[in-house]
Amino acid sequence: MPTAVTRPDKPGGAGRKRLSDLHGSVTMRDVGGEAEKRRLEDEAQQKAVQERKRVAAEKKDEAARAAAAEVAAFERCEHGCACGVVPCP
């Protein structure tokens, strides 16, 4: 049995018209399903973008921490090499 979708442009009430998968031309059938599918695809794409941004931010933070650790190690070596790496970075 096809699902029916209420029209969002009409106010609520007893005279509400309903659209179903059986009405309309062949090209306009399942308009609600197509809209839902596109919405889900957009949400999945947005989640993927957010995940990539999160990973990039983590990498950036890790690089900043590594750079800060290297600077701190260099500052300890001010009067002589204390890191033990030859040649001293």
Q: Is residue 86 domain-resident?
A: no
- How distant, in Å, are the alpha carbons of 24, 32, 53, 58, 59 from that of 47? 34, 23, 10, 16, 18
Q: Is residue 85 domain-resident?
A: no
| Tens digit of pLDDT at every position of the chain (89 positions) | 556 555 555 555 555 555 555 555 666 667 788 889 999 999 999 999 999 999 999 999 999 999 998 888 778 777 676 666 667 66
Q: Is residue 87 domain-resident?
A: no
Which residue segment(s) compose the domain that 70 sits in?
4-76
pTM: 0.51
Number of domains observed in the structure of the chain: 1
Q: Is residue 54 domain-resident?
A: yes
Q: Is residue 89 domain-resident?
A: no
What contacts 24+ positions apart, CB below 8 Å, involve 33-40? 33/3
Q: Find all residues with CB under 8 Å of 4, minimum gap 6, and list them.
A: 18, 19, 20
Q: What is the DSSP string of 21-43?
A: TTSS-GGGTTHHHHHHHHHHHHH
Q: What does the angle CA 70 – CA 74 – CA 80 come to, to the nearest 5 degrees?
A: 150
